[in-house]
Chain A
Amino acid sequence: MVDTLIHILLALLMPPLLIGVINRTKALMAGRRGAPLLQPYVELARLWRKGSVFSRTTSWLFRAGPLVALAATLLAALLVPFGGHNPPVAFIGDLVLFAYLFGLSRFFTTVSALDTGSSFEGMGAAREVTFGCLTEPVLFLVLVALARESGSLSLNGLLTHASGEMWPYEAAALLLMVGALFVLLLAENCRIPFDDPTTHLELTMIHEAMVLDHSGPAFGMILYSAALKLFVLGALVLHLALPFGIGEGLLGWLSFSAGMLVLAVAVGLVESVMARLRLLQVPRLLVAAAALAAFALLLTVR
């Protein structure tokens, strides 16, 4: 019960901090002092207080998009274990629900982008669904390999098995999976090298182009669900990447949170040392990630 409560609080409160850490890392790497770590919270509060501008071409779907996306991401956050603790919800087959909740969120985000009738947002939506088709098999390949290895069909079973028991004898497969999932994390959350979350209005944008017309509380919800998605997928990567179990109790929560912060620093480092890829090269990198995951699957099925 207490664990469930902590899980929900952590999922609700911590995500914007990751964005703050990433931004601070990028600033430090660029030789700047950077915004305070808690700046994203301030931004969200500011957006929540603001008024909204709605385009005259939009319908109720434009308003519904961010809500459904946020609800789906929140639900997905309940399925992933944070550290050595059981998640609030775990059942056989929840891994498929986990993946499809992100599909639902993508469906509604892109539909609400198309509702504006702007070609910029159409462009962003088209790119989002295109890259979505390439990232989904990566996730499923990793899940199949883990399921085969752990003999479990719930995310909790898969991930707790992966952190700890699997490393000593399946290190090669796990390394490949961590690589593939890290690429997935960057692509799904529209980070460099796939997308640049800091620029607006560039023809090469994906996520930011989709949400050009959203404003006020709706835009806040979009930013918040993006942070939450980073957090949830990050937890997935963290479980695979740690060669030892993340203990239980208070120590477990602390070490999990610390791990997430380190992961955010790693994302920030990647963003600092890399440039955004040309859009045409994005599919290649995603296919490469799928190939890594397929290799991992091969190692486990042999």
Chain B
Amino acid sequence: MAGCESVCFASSNIVIVSVVVLLLAGLPGLLLPSARAGQSWTAVMITLAALAGIPASVLTLLSHSRTAWELSWSMPSGPAQLVLDPLAALFLLPIFLISACGALYALRYRPARGGYDRIMSSMYALLAGSMAVIVLAGDSLLFLIAWEGMALSCYLLLIADHRQREVRDAGTLYLIATHTGTLVLIALFALLYQRTGSFVLPASGSLSAVGPASATIFLLALLGFGTKAGLMPLHVWLPSAHANAPSHASAIMSGVILKMGIYGIVRTVTLFDSPPLWWGLTLLALGIVSALAGVAFALGQHDLKRLLAYHSIENIGIICMGLGVGLCGLSLGRPGIALLGLAGGLLHVLNHAIFKALLFLGAGAVIHVSASRELNRMGGLVRVMPRTGLFFLVGAAAICGLPPLNGFVSELMVYLGLFRQVMGESGSAAVLAALAIPALAVVGGLAVACFVKVFGVVFLGSARQPLADDAHEPGWPMLLPMGLLALLCLLIGLAPVALAPLLEAAVSWHPLLQQESLRLAGAAPLSWLSLMGLALLGLVLLLALVYRSRLRSSRCTAADTWGCGYPAPTPRMQYSASSFADGLVGLLAPLLRPYGHRPGLPRQELAPARSRFSSHVPEVVLDLWLLPFLRHLEQYSSFLRQLQHGQLHLYLVYIFATLFALMVWALW
């Protein structure tokens, strides 16, 4: 089929050109005399790259093609390899989509005025470009270079407001975490090199998964990539980093960068022929822990962006549950389970990128208006910014996995994979899957609780503190990306069957999943979902029409909210974010360790005196476990500090000495 081949060739070349445009898109920001013009050029270039890159990636997926390029460079590792296969093409979709949405949004959200802004827009483009290179990288050196490019550009983007101490601290924590992860990845690639004798990543399914070396590679991948993905308990850097970055950066961090960790885990697994059962079970167990703990901590937050960051941990958990089920299916030789789990996990990667970016962009608009990230100072914003409110509502319902939106589709696939595993297997696979199902149900319930709280406290009721007089809906560069993402949430939810061929292509690396008869539309009730989704929307519309005609023909009066007889209620008497979550936080107290100041009732006076109340949920892993441990460690290792003195010439001597020692060792 010459026609197909020329299409594949053209589409894969278009992908490469788009990635190059992404990488270059930062230059105008640095070079043009006007920072503002540079930012606009960057946004235009990123958008064009996305407009070309998304259809080209979809075509690559549909044609199941694999294209490889070799670029010669003078590295001892040999020429650089770029490989575009269906799995890479699937991960390119969120990269293109979210980076374009964020770049457009930034035009109004954070117009460049010079100074650090120049660096920001160019770092944003570099970040998007290096992520695209990560998924295309076919050899470990290029992978690591792109990985570092992503980590560092993300750091520079994160510390945009570096005059605040909180932001600097978040940046430092992020930098430490990401480099710890990179260190593990270097060990991972060294082991792979030992296995294959080449820096080129081995072809999929070419390594045997038996033996301790493979187990070590898998565990190192979990550790190194898990740190980037924010798997519990490796997530310590994530909440503060996502909270303190500018909102369009948070959107891309949460929506896409975390997925690079997921990509790494999936890519590592594809190198092996058949993963042993315990790989899948480990991933499933880690996913359960991440999902449960992530949403539980989210519930206790009252900083809007910190809360959203914890939900990323939850969703990474759901993704890992899906991938874990998929791997179990592969090792049990059950293609149906494997397809449902892997496709569900990968679809959730895409879905989470869409709705989490939407929520962060919405949060940016909200924070813009209320000049605070603190939930308890907001309220009633749906009247000030109705469109933002509607889009945020769609994102909130989607992240809770509610029908008829996209989150429900991927969660349903994961559920079905788990159900089939319980029904068809016995032993540990069945037991863990049987535990995972109610766990996923609790996660869903807690997510509903959390997003009812967020939406209710931010957008509903009345404003808890006065808004500026000119508070209004944000301009179209901010609304358009949000609207587009909200629309995608609905479209994927209503027509999931459109994505089925893409997902089937992305998981087709394994021989078990290459059978023609194995179709996602047969394993999951995708057309039923469309039908039921449309029925739901139609029913709501019908009821709304009936209700409206009823309201038109009857008497409607406006009054104050009933205050149970109290004549002078104030907005501060409304239920707040803390009071709404108080019951659940209390139930989860052994995990969440909430602390704060709770005044008792005063004994002596008749009228209570002025009092104050506060409640916080700490980052338990970081504040209560890791930092005390590190402080302890510091006491015994402070003498090593002498090695780090800030004198450049001595550092060069270190490098030379290390190289010399290695050379001696190698020549021995």
Contact = CB atoms under 8 A, between A and B. Distances in A.
B561 interface: yes
B574 A136 contact: no
Q: Which of B393, B400, B402 has the most CB of A within 10 A?
A: B402
B145 interface: no
A122 B579 contact: yes
A144 B433 CA distance: 10
Nearest 5 A/B pairs, CB to CB: A122-B575, A114-B456, A117-B461, A51-B555, A133-B445
B522 to A, nearest CB: 9
Contacts of A89: 528, 532
Interface stretch (B414-422, B499-507, B628-636): B414-422
Given A54-B556, A217-B550, A301-B434, A71 B540 contact: yes
B601 interface: no
B575 A93 contact: no
Q: Is the interface of B mostly helix, strand, loop or mixed?
A: helix
A14 B20 CA distance: 65
A160 interface: no
Interface in A110-125: 110-111, 114-123, 125
B655 interface: no
Interface in B508-565: 524-525, 528-529, 532, 535-536, 539-540, 543-544, 547, 550-551, 554-564
A25 to B, nearest CB: 31
Nearest to A122: B575
A97 B532 contact: yes
Interface of B: 379-380, 382-383, 386, 389, 393, 397, 400-403, 408, 411-412, 415-416, 419-420, 422-423, 426, 430-431, 434, 437-442, 444-446, 448-449, 451-453, 455-457, 460-462, 524-525, 528-529, 532, 535-536, 539-540, 543-544, 547, 550-551, 554-564, 569, 571, 573-575, 579-584, 587
A157 B575 CA distance: 44
A64 B452 CA distance: 15
B382 A59 contact: yes
Contact of B444 (A120, A136, A141, A221): A136
B445 A136 contact: yes
A62 to B, nearest CB: 8
Nearest to B540: A71
B455 A104 contact: no
26 contacts: A50-B554, A51-B556, A54-B556, A67-B544, A67-B547, A68-B540, A71-B539, A72-B536, A75-B536, A96-B415, A100-B401, A100-B444, A107-B402, A110-B452, A114-B575, A115-B461, A116-B461, A116-B561, A117-B461, A119-B574, A125-B452, A127-B583, A132-B448, A140-B440, A147-B423, A301-B431
A151 interface: yes
Contact of B573 (A55, A63, A119): A119
B579 A126 contact: yes
B524 A51 contact: no
A53 interface: yes
B579 to A, nearest CB: 7
Contacts of A72: 536
A120 B573 CA distance: 10
Given A64-B544, A75-B539, A151-B423, A107 B583 contact: no
Contacts of B559: 53-56
A93 B415 contact: yes
Contacts of A75: 532, 535-536, 539
Given A54-B559, A57-B380, A126-B580, A140 B441 contact: yes
B422 A125 contact: no
Interface of A: 48-59, 61, 63-64, 67-68, 70-72, 74-75, 89, 91-94, 96-97, 99-101, 103-104, 106-107, 110-111, 114-123, 125-127, 129-130, 132-137, 139-141, 143-144, 147-148, 151, 153, 201, 212-213, 216-218, 221, 283, 290, 294, 297, 301
Given A67-B543, A217-B554, 11 more contacts: A52-B554, A97-B408, A97-B529, A100-B403, A114-B457, A117-B379, A133-B449, A133-B584, A136-B445, A294-B438, A301-B426
Contact of A97 (B382, B412, B460, B540): B412
Contacts of A48: 550
Nearest to A107: B448
A155 B587 CA distance: 32
Given A51-B556, A96-B415, A137-B441, A57 B561 contact: yes
Nearest to A56: B558
B85 to A, nearest CB: 30
A111 B456 contact: yes
B532 A67 contact: no
